[in-house]
Amino acid sequence: MKRPFDDDAILRVVRDSGRGPMKPKAISRTLDVSPSHYRDLKKRLSELTAEGRLYRVKGGRYAVPDRISLVTGRVSLIRKGDGFVRSEESGEEVFVPERDLESALDGDRVVVRVESHPKGRKPVGRVIRVLERERDALVAVFHEGRKASFAVPRDPRVKSDVVIPWGDEGDAIEGDVVRVRITGYGPRRRGPVGEVVEVLGRLGDPGVDVLSVLHDHGLAPDFPPEVEAAATRIGEGERPEPGEGREDLRELRTMTIDPEDAKDHDDALSVERLDGGSVRVGIHIADVGWYVRPGGELDREARSRGTSVYLVDRVVPMLPHALSSDLCSLVPDRDRYAVSLIVDLDAEGRVESYRFARSIIRSRHKLAYETVQAVLDGEESVQTEADADLRTLASVARRLRERKGVRGALDFELPEARVRLDETGEPVAIERVRRLEAHRLVEDFMLLANELVAREGSSRTLPVLYRIHESPAADRLEDLREMLARFGYRLPSRSVRPRDLLDVLDAARGRPEEQLVSTVVLRAMQRARYAPDNLGHFGLALEHYAHFTSPIRRYPDLVTHRAIVDALVLGRQPPASAHEGLAGLAEHCSFREEVATDAERDSIELKKIEYMKRHLGEEFDGTISGVKAFGAFVQLDDVFVDGLVHVNALEDDYYEFREREYALVGVRKGRRLRLGDRVRVQLVRVDREERHLDFALVSGG
C-alpha cells in the first residue's frame, strides 16, 4: 500500500509552518497521515534529517534548515585553510573560518549555522554537523615519532596532521609517500587518526607525484572488478541488437575531429548541401545510454565518478576502457550506435528545422585539429570530398559564431599551457596551446546541439540537467563597475547583460589596460554549474543550455541523452517521478566536476614547478595576475607559470594593499604594482612540497 505522503509534501508542510519547528504529530495531522502510516512518517523524518534536508531541534521538532539560519552544502577549502559552503537550496555561499570547520575536510557535506552577515561580504558561519564524508583517505608523507607516528597531508588545504598509532604504520618508513585511511575524526585542532593502507613510493620517484594528486582528490585509478566485468560482457556482444527505431545513417560522410592522442570520440559531424544555399548538418553523439542502463553496475560507477579526469600524464575515465575507448567511441571504419541531431540551416546560419534520431553511423575519417586546420588553410588534403565538407562546415560555423557575437556571448581568450613530458614523466617543455579555427568549428556545432537540446528539455519539461551560468552577484558587479570607471568604461546602473560586458572587452582591446579589464570581468563571473531548472547561461547569452555532446566522459550528458531519446525518439512521456532526485544529482555532478578540475590543475602545476626548478636564478617577463595584501602574483609569458613577489621582497619602499584598485602602492615613492601590469622578475625559490614559486621584482610596475 502506497504511503499517503512524499518528501516534497513533508518539506512543504514544515517550511510553511507558521509556528516554527514542528513535532511529528503536528506534521502527521497536517498531512492527514493515518495511524498505520505514522511509523513510516517518523522513519522518513529521520532519514530526511540524516540527508540534511530537515534539521531536528530541541523538543524533537523538525525544521527546514534555511528557516533556522542553517545551510546544507559541501565544503570547498582554500589554501589558507578557510572554507566556503554553497547552499544546496539557494546557491548562496557561506564563508567558514578555519577555526570553525571542526573536523570537516574538503568536499565533506555539512550543516553550517550562519552566525553573521557582514555588510558587503558573504555570510559567515560555523560547521555544526558533518553529514557525509567525501573521502576516507588522504595522501601524506609518513614521519616516525617517539610515542606515535604521524603523516603530513600533501594537500596544502588540509592543515591537520594525521596521527598514526603504533602498529598501524604498515610497511611505511620515514619519508614515504603513503595513502592513509582515516579511522577517527577528532576536533580540528587535534586532527584525525588513521592507518597506512598503501605505500605509493618515495618523494621524487617517477609517477609518484601525479599518483599522489590522483589519490589526494579521491579519484580511483581502477574500476571495481564487477564494473570491469559488466563492460567486458557488453564488449563481447551482450547487447548487439540496435534497439527500437534506429536509423541507418552509414551512407553519410561522417568524421571525428579531436586532439591527436584522443581515444574517446564522443562526437562526429557530417554535412550535406541542400537547395537554396541551405545545409544539413549531422551532429552525431555516441549512444552511451544504449549500453549503460539506469541502475546497473556501470551506471552507478559512472554516476559516482561524474566525469572523466584528464591529468597531465594519464586519463582516468568515467567508464571502463572497453566502452570509453572502444565500443562507445566513434572510431573510424566501424559501425557505431549514436544519437544524431540533424539540423537544417540557411545560408546565414539560422536554424530552419531539426530532429533527433537514434542512429547507426560509420565514421570515415579520424581527424586531428591540426590536420583540419591545414585543410582549411589549403596546406593539406585528407580526401577531396572530405576537404569540401570541412570547408562547408567551417563556413557554417563562422555564421553561427557571428550570430553568437551579435547576441553578446562572452569569449575570453585566455592562454592555456600544455606540459610536455618525456618517457619517464619528466617535464621537458611548457607550450602554449594554440586555439585554431578547427577548435572553434567543433565548438560551434556542439554549442548549437546543446542549445537545441535544452530548448526541447525546457519546452517539454523533460528530466534533464541544465548547464546554468548565473549573472554576476550584486557585490561583485558593484566592484566591477567601480574598477572599470577608473579607466573610463561604464556599465549600466540597471541589471547588466552579457552584451554590456562584451562591449567593454571590445573597447579595451589593444589598449594598455586590456589584460586588466579582461581579468576583472572574468573574476566577476559566477561559476557555471548543473541544475534541474533552466536558469539560462549568462556567459553564452543563451536562455537554454544543457550538456549533451560528451556522454562518454560526463554523466549529466548521459542523463540528458536518456530523456531526449525517450521523449523525442521513442515518444514516451516521462513519469512525474522522473524529476525526483535531480537537484541532488545536479549538486553531485557539479561537485565532481570541481574535483576533476582541481586534480587536473594540480597535476599540471606540480609538473610546472618541477620544470621551473631547473631555472632558479633566471629572469622572466610576465604580467601581474593577482594582488593580495601579502604580495603580487605574476604569470610568466612563455611558460604560463604563476609565482609570488612577496611584499617582504620589495625592498625599495613600504607597500600598502589597495583592494579596490587591485594594487600594491609604495607609501613613500608611490610605485604601483597593479593587476595587469607588465613586470620582469627573477626566480629565487622553488618549493615542490607547497607547489610554490617565489620571484624577486627586477623591473616594471
Question: pLDDT tens across 252-274, in order?
Answer: 999 999 999 888 999 999 999 99
Comparing 321 with 50, the larger pLDDT belongs to 321
The pLDDT tens digits of the residues spanning 17-45 come to 877 889 999 999 989 888 888 988 999 99
Non-local (6+) Cβ contacts of 340 within 8 A are 247, 249, 282, 283, 284, 285, 356, 357, 358, 359, 361
What local confidence, expressed as pLDDT, does residue 581 receive? 87
* CATH code: domain of residue 39: 1.10.10.10
Domain membership of residue 171 (yes or no) is yes
Pair (246, 310) in one structural domain: yes
**Alpha carbon distance 467, 540 (integer Å):** 11
What is the share, in percent, of the chain residues with pLDDT greater than 90?
Answer: 59
DSSP one-letter string for 247-276: EE-TTS-EEEEE-TT-----EEEEEEE-GG
**Alpha carbon distance 76, 672 (integer Å):** 33
The pLDDT tens digits of the residues spanning 412-425 come to 776 678 899 998 88
* CATH code: domain of residue 197: 2.40.50.700
Contact 153, 184 (CB under 8 A): no
What local confidence, expressed as pLDDT, does residue 45 receive? 92
Mean pLDDT of 429-442: 91
Q: How long a stretch of residues is the chain?
A: 701
The pLDDT tens digits of the residues spanning 96-148 come to 998 898 888 888 899 999 989 888 788 999 998 898 888 888 899 999 987 78
**Alpha carbon distance 673, 681 (integer Å):** 13
What local confidence, expressed as pLDDT, does residue 4 receive? 60
Buried b (16+ CB within 10 A) or exposed e, 215-245: bbbbbeeebeeebbebbeebbeeeeeebeee
Domain boundary among 66, 100, 115: 66
Contact 647, 655 (CB under 8 A): yes
Pair (512, 552) in one structural domain: no
User: What's at 56, amino acid-wise?
Assistant: R
Contact 45, 74 (CB under 8 A): no
Pair (29, 154) in one structural domain: no
Domain membership of residue 624 (yes or no) is yes
Task: Write down the residue that cell numbers 633566471 correspond to.
Answer: 618
Domain boundary among 172, 203, 234: 203
Pair (445, 473) in one structural domain: no
Kindly tell me if the per-residue pLDDT of 2 is higher than 60.
no
Domain membership of residue 394 (yes or no) is yes
Non-local (6+) Cβ contacts of 536 within 8 A are 468, 469, 542, 543, 544, 545
Mean pLDDT of 609-637: 92
Pair (516, 367) in one structural domain: no
Mean pLDDT of 193-221: 89
Bridge partners, 481 (sequence order): none
Domain membership of residue 411 (yes or no) is no
**Alpha carbon distance 57, 45 (integer Å):** 13
Contact 132, 73 (CB under 8 A): no
Query: Which pLDDT band holds residue 1 (cuts at 50, 70, 90)?
Result: very low
Bridge partners, 272 (sequence order): 280
User: What's at 304, amino acid-wise?
Assistant: S
Residue 558 DSSP SS3: helix
Pair (340, 457) in one structural domain: yes
Kindly tell me if the per-residue pLDDT of 187 is higher than 70.
no
What local confidence, expressed as pLDDT, does residue 238 receive? 60
Domain membership of residue 524 (yes or no) is yes
What local confidence, expressed as pLDDT, does residue 3 receive? 53
Domain membership of residue 308 (yes or no) is yes
Residues 685, 691, 695: CA angle, nearest 5 degrees: 30
Contact 315, 221 (CB under 8 A): no
Domain boundary among 95, 114, 132: 132
In degrees rounded to 5, what are phi and psi of residue 647?
-60, -30
Residues 329, 331, 336: CA angle, nearest 5 degrees: 65
Pair (485, 448) in one structural domain: no
**Containing structural domain, residue 680:** 616-700
C-alpha cell at 250: 552509414
What angle do the packed helices 437-460 and 384-407 form, to 10 degrees? 60
**Alpha carbon distance 603, 311 (integer Å):** 6
Most confident listed range (123-132, 439-448, 689-698): 439-448
**Alpha carbon distance 445, 165 (integer Å):** 57
Pair (442, 528) in one structural domain: no
What local confidence, expressed as pLDDT, does residue 189 receive? 60
Contact 374, 390 (CB under 8 A): no
Average pLDDT over the chain, rounded to an integer? 90
Comparing 53 with 541, the larger pLDDT belongs to 541
Domain membership of residue 579 (yes or no) is no
Comparing 156 with 124, the larger pLDDT belongs to 124
What local confidence, expressed as pLDDT, does residue 301 receive? 97
Pair (256, 372) in one structural domain: yes
Task: Write down the residue that cell numbers 588540509 correspond to.
Answer: 158
Contact 533, 527 (CB under 8 A): no
Comparing 256 with 55, the larger pLDDT belongs to 256
Query: Which pLDDT band holds residue 633 (cuts at 50, 70, 90)?
Result: very high
* CATH code: domain of residue 104: 2.40.50.140
**Alpha carbon distance 508, 617 (integer Å):** 35
> Which range among 223-237, 502-516, 557-571 shows the weakest confidence by mean pLDDT?
502-516
C-alpha cell at 19: 509556528
Pair (40, 80) in one structural domain: no
Number of domains, the chain: 6
What ranges in 363-513 are assigned the alpha helix state H?
Answer: 369-376, 384-407, 437-460, 474-485, 498-508
What local confidence, expressed as pLDDT, does residue 434 receive? 85
Pair (285, 402) in one structural domain: yes
**Nearest-CA neighbor of 257 among 247, 249, 246, 265?**
265
Kindly tell me if the per-residue pLDDT of 8 is higher than 50.
yes
Contact 519, 413 (CB under 8 A): no
**Alpha carbon distance 569, 555 (integer Å):** 20
C-alpha cell at 215: 589519490
3-state secondary structure 559-588: HHHHHHHHHHHCCCCCCHHHHCCHHHHHHH
DSSP one-letter string for 365-401: EEEEHHHHHHHHTTS--S-HHHHHHHHHHHHHHHHHH
Pair (117, 150) in one structural domain: no
What local confidence, expressed as pLDDT, does residue 537 receive? 96
**Alpha carbon distance 693, 697 (integer Å):** 13
Domain membership of residue 590 (yes or no) is no
